Structure formats: C-alpha cells, structure tokens
Structure 1
Amino acid sequence: MQRISRTVVLAAILSPLSSAALAQATNVQVYGLVDMYVGRSQMSGTPSTTVANSGGMTTSYWGIGGTENLGGGTSAVFAIEGFMRADTGEAGRTPGEAMLTRAAYAGLNGDMGQVKIGRLPSPLFQLTGNLNPFGFSTRFSPLMTQMWIAGYGVAIMGDSGWNNALHYTSPTFGGGFSVVGQVNLGERTGTSAGNNSIAVLRYNTEALMLAAAVQEVKNGLNQSAAAPSQRTVFAGGSYDFKVAKVFASYDRNKTELTGRRTRMLHAGVAVPQGAGKWMVGWARANERTNVKAPYHRDTISAGYDYNLSVRTDLYAMGVYDKISTSTSGTTLATGIRHKF
C-alpha cells in the first residue's frame, strides 16, 4: 500500500509528464523528513530565546529521486530535494532560498564508480556529518555547529551544497578504500574564480572509518570574485566497539585577505542503550585573525535519542557554548523527528 500511495503522490506532482515516462523508471520515490523541537536556545555572548524550531537533529526536507537500470551493471540516477522550515511552513532554510537547494542532479552508477552533475551536497559536509555522534545536526553537534553555522563561528567558507558541480565517487578498492572528488565551476569568463574543489580519501570496514580531505574554496558562499579563498584540511575517524562508538577529528582552515586561521579539535562518543543511544561531543576552535586578538571556543553537547520505530524518534539535548572572551550560553531542547 505504501508503494502505491507514493506513486499516486508522485504522479500528481509530476502531472506534466506522461505515464509512459514514469513507467520507464525502475524505482521512483517521494521521501523526506520532518524534524521539530522546542526549548531554550542560547549561544555564547547572546541572550537566550524560547523557540519552537525546525531541524534539530536533521534539517527538514523533501525529495523525489529514482534510478533506472540501463543494463550491463549501469544505472541512471536522479534526485531533486528541497529544504523546508516546518515551524513556519516556508520553503528553504532561510527566506528567499532556492526551491531545490538540498540537491538537484542527474548521474550514472556503474562498475567504474558514480558520476553526478548538478546542485550537489558538499563532500566535506557529508564527511563531518558521518564523523560525529550527533550526525548531521547543525543545532546540537559541536563539530557541525562550529564548522558550518554562522552563530558559532562558521569555520568553513561556502555552503553545505555546491552549484554547477561535478562529482565522482570511486568503487571500493584495496579492502576498504575509496576516493571522492568534486568541483564546482564558477562559470566566469576569463577567470578561474569560483572553481572550487575537494578530494577525499576514505577507508571503511565494518567497525572502522578513517578519512582525510583537502578542500579549496576560491569564492565563498556568494560566488563573488572578490571574496577570499580558503584552504581546508580535515582528518578524522570513528571506531565501533559495539558497547560504544568513538569519534575524533582535526580541522585546519586558512583564509586569505583576512588572515584567519582556524584549528579545530573534536571528540565524541555514542553509547547504545535500550531503543536509543546516549551522545556526548566536544569541539574546540582556536582562532587567529589580523583584526582581533586570538581566542578559542568550546562547545559541549550531550543528549539521548530514542527510537519509537524505524521512522520516528524522540530526542532530548543540552549544549554548552563558551567563547574565551565572552559569556557562556546554554541550550536545552527536546524534539521529534519523522522520516517518510
């Protein structure tokens, strides 16, 4: 019944397409996630706010994606995905954001790997989300907040997704190694400004994950030729002892013009208990720039995530945030996340 209902929804959304075109796809699905939480939110040096917000553990989104078997071990893939703010019913993470900011791509999978072209998630964002106990939470994960969120210092220039991007993921080789490469083309006549790139080397076994990445961002989020470039080096790993899964990583960023240099250490652990897991994480960012004295920021989070089913979970989180030159902030929140 679930497959039939999703097909009906898909047909309604894509009504301009013929039924014959839909029938060619071997697997087309409508999917997504809604995440809402309530609580008290406060970052270091800011007043507290009582909130009912979207996207506590995962940013709420919707998507339509699918594959088509082309034969010979090759398949075509596509996805169009958009963020949403479930607390207000608005599209996007922020007002005015494009409809399909999460992803919009087409590509091929085969024995030689995977190639995708379009609006694509940043491999560095994907990597940091996989190497901390809170996953892709840009609200509660110390690593994700300090690396990607403006209020916490945003160590990384650029968005969590890249426009005009070309992506490659290699097959697994050597007992667990794989390579990921991605570039986005600035599409500026007579200049390489905006031609951002990243390379990732990963090693995966059943219990162990190790990864290293080098990223070059030449134009930042707004694709301005005048924006400074930034070089990022990231290395991290995780190991699952079954009774606990531990995480650790190191990040180094150097931004031109501003002279900003960021060094970040992160450690965390996830401990399964009952139908859920306990999570604890810490990140420290040491900052140096040309315009202010050096300082550091510590963010510590702890919480429990309880699975009501394979699709629905409840969570309770606490976050302590402290800049060395300012007052501390504390966030307490509880929420619900449902996947469809």
Structure 2
Amino acid sequence: MKKTMLAIAATLVCTTSAFAQSSVQISGISDIFVGSMKAAGDDGRTNVVNSGGLTTSWFGFSGSEDLGGGLKANFQLTSFLQTDDGTQGRFTGDTFFSRDANVSLSGGFGSVLLGRWMAPNFLPSVVANPLGDSFVFSPLILHMNVPLFNRTGWQSTTPSDTGWSNQLVYSTPDIGGFKANLQYQFGEQSGDNKNKKNVGANFFYFGGPLTVTGFYERAQISNPGAGSYLGTTKTAWMLGGAYDFKMVKPYLSYGQSEADDTDVKAKTLQVGASVPLGAGSVIGSWAQTKLSGVDLNRKTLTVGYDYNLSKRTDVYAMVMNDKITSYNSGTSFGVGIRHRF
C-alpha cells in the first residue's frame, strides 16, 4: 500500500511539473465605434457602427511549452473579427486564422517560425505612427494598406497584405535593444511560376526614449491563403522612428513602393505626435503620398484623443480629413471604445 501511494504521489508530481511547463492563453481585442465616414472621392457620407476604429478586432489562442535548456515551443492561432455584426475576418473571403497561424521554436538563438504571421511591412508601420494599427483613422496605415473602392481608384502601396502565409521567419534575439526579422514566403507555385516568392526583412531599435524601425519587401505572391502570382514584382521600403520627450512624442516615417510593370512610384511621408493629457493622450498624424509619373497626391490628417478607463479599456474620439488631387475631399469622425482581454 505504501509503495502504491508513493507511486501515485510521484505520478502527480510529474503531471504537475508537465503542466507547469506549458501554457495556453485566450486573448484578443474588441474595438467598436460610432462614426460618420467620408473618404476623398466618396459621393456621400455613411453613418456607421463599425468594428476596429483604433485596432482591428481579433481573438485567438497562443501558448508555449518549456522544452528545457532555454528552448521553447510556441504556437499562435488568432482570427480577425468584425465586432459590429459578428462576422469573421477583415473582409469577405478572409481566411479564418488570417491574423496568425504558426508554430515556432525560440531560445537564446532567437526564434524560427513556420506558418502565417505578420508581413515585414506591418509592425514597422504601426510603431512609426501615433495611431498604431488603425485601419480606419491612421493616415499612414490608410495610405499603405486600404484601397478606396470609389472613383479615385486609390490602391494600397503595400506589396502583398499585412500578413504572409506559408512563410519561414528567423527572428534575432534582443541585442542591446536591437531586433530583426528575416522572412521568406514560399510561393507554392508550379510551372512557369515555380520560383515566385516573397522575401523581406525588418528591424527595431528600442533604446530608452528612442525608437527606430524600418522594413524592405519584394513580393510576387498574393495573400492571404495559399496565394497566387501577382503578375508583377512589387518592392517597398520604409524608415521611421519616434522619440519620447515625456511632454510630447514626435513620430516620423518615409517610404517608397513600386512595381516592375509600371513607371509609377509611390512616395509616402508621415509626421505625427502624441501628447499626454490627463489619463490619456492627444494624438495626431499627417501623411502625404505622391505618385510620380501621374498628377496624383493624397494628403490625410487625423487628430483625436484616447482616454484610458483602465489598463485594458480605453475610449477615443477621432476626426480625419482626406484629400486626393482632382477629387472632392472627405471628413470622417468617430467615437469608440476598445477592450483588451
């Protein structure tokens, strides 16, 4: 009996130890706003209750297992969500886990990841502007990533989505505040397109009040999902940064993008600032994109206030003006709430 009890106790200790080495988390962001929207070139105004005013809503699972010796196995399965009506994805036809679907190994060497993850362009553009990853109100993100389905025909300057599927990523360890990612997306094409692929890299330096970031991409494959050949080779790069003076945090970024089947080059400059005020911040950003070879110039300005109700919940109010050469301008505004869980 004594031996049996000892065996059971040993089993329980081992089981507890195994669970202690693994963790799984459910997390996400729910962001919804009330607004009146009119982009440059729109014929009329649209009053909305929409999802993702400051951050695209998402939910999902992530976890890690301690393999010993400083080595960990990690996974991410996260999906975008339209909080206003419960629709999955960012748009019709978006894959279910279009935000993240990957497995990685990490340790003192950095990490190696396989699957769907951020494209090189995404995080640097988020870090380099005060409105972060707002696909509704951030001028930089709008110019880079959001086409206008109106008579302007405005196209995003990002080569191939903000996330890449079927990719291999090597991330360096943190070296004195510096980190970098090297990314390769397998095209998974056959025949004449068998060598088509996406490659890119980005870097980040966080040194006290100073932030510096940048990316380069060369894309031939579309996203999300399995993807297909774009029919051209698109390249893009950007450099950006910020400096926190405590009283004000200014932001600056500049980038270019082009495709080999056209002489048009997009050149995007963005300046912005965040000023602490009370329990929140006044934030503002201005972006200008000039298209060389054609007489087309887009300028977008957003100013707003983001107030923290708690560490996980904030409310915000934003006003945005959008102009494109030869088209009527548009002004949008929205008031929303964002909750992290």
The reply to whether TM is greater than 0.5 is: yes
Residues 79-116 of structure 1: per-residue CA shift (max 9 Å, x gap) = 10001111111111112321111101000110000111
Q: Which residue of 2 aligns with 1:11?
A: none
Superposed counterparts of 1:264-275, under 5 Å:
264-275=268-279
Superposed counterparts of 1:138-177, under 5 Å:
138-151=135-148, 153-173=155-175, 175-177=176-178
Q: Which residue of 1 aligns with 2:133?
A: 136
- Residue 86 (str. 1) matches residue 83 (str. 2): yes
Count of residue pairs the alignment pairs up: 317
1:229 counterpart SS class: strand
1:157 touches 1:221 (CA, 8 Å); kept in 2? Answer: no
Greater shift, 24-33 or 329-338, is seen at: 24-33
Q: Which residue of 2 aligns with 1:299?
A: 300
Which ranges in structure 1 are unaligned for 5 or more consecutive residues? Answer: 1-18
Distance across 1 between alignment mates of 2:161 and 2:195: 16
Q: Which residue of 1 aligns with 2:229?
A: 225
1:144 counterpart SS class: helix
Q: Which residue of 2 aligns with 1:314?
A: 315
Q: Which residue of 2 aligns with 1:5?
A: none
Distance across 2 between alignment mates of 1:180 and 1:262: 24
What percentage of aligned pairs have identical amino acids? 36
Per the TM alignment, residue 34 of structure 1 is displaced from its structure 2 partner at its CA by 0.6
- Letter matched to residue 207 of structure 1: P
Distance across 2 between alignment mates of 1:233 and 1:316: 31
1:33 counterpart SS class: strand
- Letter matched to residue 38 of structure 2: Q
Q: Which residue of 2 aligns with 1:282?
A: 286
Q: Which residue of 1 aligns with 2:41?
A: 45
Per the TM alignment, residue 192 of structure 1 is displaced from its structure 2 partner at its CA by 4.6
1:50 counterpart SS class: strand
Q: Which residue of 2 aligns with 1:75?
A: 72
Per the TM alignment, residue 315 of structure 1 is displaced from its structure 2 partner at its CA by 0.2
Q: Which residue of 1 aligns with 2:197?
A: 195
From 27, 31, 34, the equivalent of 2:30 is 34
> Which has the greater radius of gyration?
2
- Letter matched to residue 115 of structure 2: G
What is the TM-score when the length of structure 2 is the normalising length?
A: 0.89
Q: Which residue of 2 aligns with 1:207?
A: 209
Residues 264-285 of structure 1: per-residue CA shift (max 9 Å, x gap) = 1000000011110000100000
Distance across 1 between alignment mates of 2:41 and 2:280: 33
2:211 touches 2:241 (CA, 8 Å); kept in 1? Answer: yes
1:246 touches 1:270 (CA, 8 Å); kept in 2? Answer: yes
1:68 counterpart SS class: strand
Per the TM alignment, residue 211 of structure 1 is displaced from its structure 2 partner at its CA by 2.0
Which ranges in structure 2 are unaligned for 5 or more consecutive residues? Answer: 1-14, 149-153
From 115, 118, 121, the equivalent of 1:118 is 115
Superposed counterparts of 1:88-107, under 5 Å:
88-107=85-104
Per the TM alignment, residue 122 of structure 1 is displaced from its structure 2 partner at its CA by 1.3
1:184 touches 1:194 (CA, 8 Å); kept in 2? Answer: no
1:263 touches 1:287 (CA, 8 Å); kept in 2? Answer: yes
1:150 counterpart SS class: coil
Per the TM alignment, residue 245 of structure 1 is displaced from its structure 2 partner at its CA by 0.9
Q: Which residue of 1 aligns with 2:4?
A: none
